[in-house]
Amino acid sequence: GMPVEQNPPALSLYEGADSGLRCNFSTTMKSVQWFQQNHRGRLITLFYLAQGTKENGRLKSTFNSKERYSTLHIKDAQLEDSGTYFCAAEDNYAQGLTFGLGTRVSVFP
């Protein structure tokens, strides 16, 4: 299977709703990064985690290397949260990041 499996592929939310995205890894990863890709195609880093949990405003991310997953939680969704979200992980052998297929998030008023 895919080294990085990201779910769901798409997510529709109303403003103010909470939801989460998840990435499962086929092997042990040493770090994970979460990105938001905006409508201009720019990759914006949301989080970089080697372990544990980080929060930034309405976003929260967790990475569990042992259990091979990472999550991104969006709280109180806003219109500007719309975009495609990617997780990307680095394994112990390669320097390059392996990306998930992305989650297209649409926030509606």
Partner 1 sequence: DPKIIQKPKYLVAVTGSEKILICEQYLGHNAMYWYRQSAKKPLEFMFSYSYQKLMDNQTASSRFQPQSSKKNHLDLQITALKPDDSATYFCASSQESWGAVYAEQFFGPGTRLTVL
Site residues for partner 1 per CB under 8 A = 30-31, 33, 35, 41-43, 45, 48, 50, 86, 88, 90, 94-102
Are the C-beta atoms of residues 15 and 108 closer than 8 Å to each other? Answer: yes
Residues 85 and 53: their CA atoms lie apart, in Å, by 18
User: Closest distance between partner 1 and the C-beta of residue 70, in Å?
Assistant: 14
Q: Measured from the CB atom, is 14 or 94 closer to partner 1?
A: 94
Q: Measured from the CB atom, is 77 or 83 closer to partner 1?
A: 83
User: Closest distance between partner 1 and the C-beta of residue 105, in Å?
Assistant: 17
User: Closest distance between partner 1 and the C-beta of residue 72, in Å?
Assistant: 16
User: Closest distance between partner 1 and the C-beta of residue 31, in Å?
Assistant: 5
- Segment 37-40 long-range contacts (CB within 8 Å, at least 24 positions apart): 37/83, 37/84, 37/85, 37/86, 37/102, 38/83, 39/83
* Terminal Cα-to-Cα distance of the chain (whole angstroms): 37
**Which pair of structure tokens corresponds to residue 9?**
């592929």
Q: Measured from the CB atom, is 27 or 45 closer to partner 1?
A: 45
Q: Measured from the CB atom, is 11 or 29 closer to partner 1?
A: 29
What are the φ/ψ torsions at residue 20 (nearest 5 degrees)?
-140, 155
